[in-house]
């Protein structure tokens, strides 16, 4: 691998009301991998939502959902002849 370049954004939001708590997280990023003969880049994301409730007896119940997504590669280009693979 000649280069591995990644950049993106990570956002977290938390909201609490009484015994309820909601936490949401979104991580979206773009990465590019370059080798001697080809280049590949992709945009992808990960998201997470957590719902929590704290009972009066200080016991907590929690539900969590996750989602991973990815897009198709934007380009695979042979550097020696500049032909898309």
Higher-confidence residue: 4 or 55?
55
Give the residue-averaged pLDDT of 2-23: 89
**Total residues found in the chain within this entry:** 85
pLDDT of residue 80: 54
Q: Kindly report the average pLDDT of the chain as a whole number.
A: 82
With 0.75 as the threshold, say if the pTM is over it: no
Residue 16 tokens, joined: 């609490």
Query: Which tens digits make up the pLDDT trace of 45-80?
Result: 899 999 999 999 989 999 999 998 866 555 554 555
CB 21 within 8 A of CB 44: no
């Amino acid at each position: 691998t000649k280069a591995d370049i990644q950049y993106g954004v990570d956002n977290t939001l938390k909201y609490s009301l009484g015994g309820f708590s909601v936490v949401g997280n979104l991580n979206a990023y773009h990465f590019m991998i370059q080798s001697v003969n080809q280049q590949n880049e992709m945009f992808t994301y990960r998201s997470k939502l957590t719902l929590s409730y704290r009972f009066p007896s200080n016991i907590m119940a929690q539900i969590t959902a996750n989602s991973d997504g990815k897009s198709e590669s934007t380009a695979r280009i042979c550097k020696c002849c500049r032909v898309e693979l």
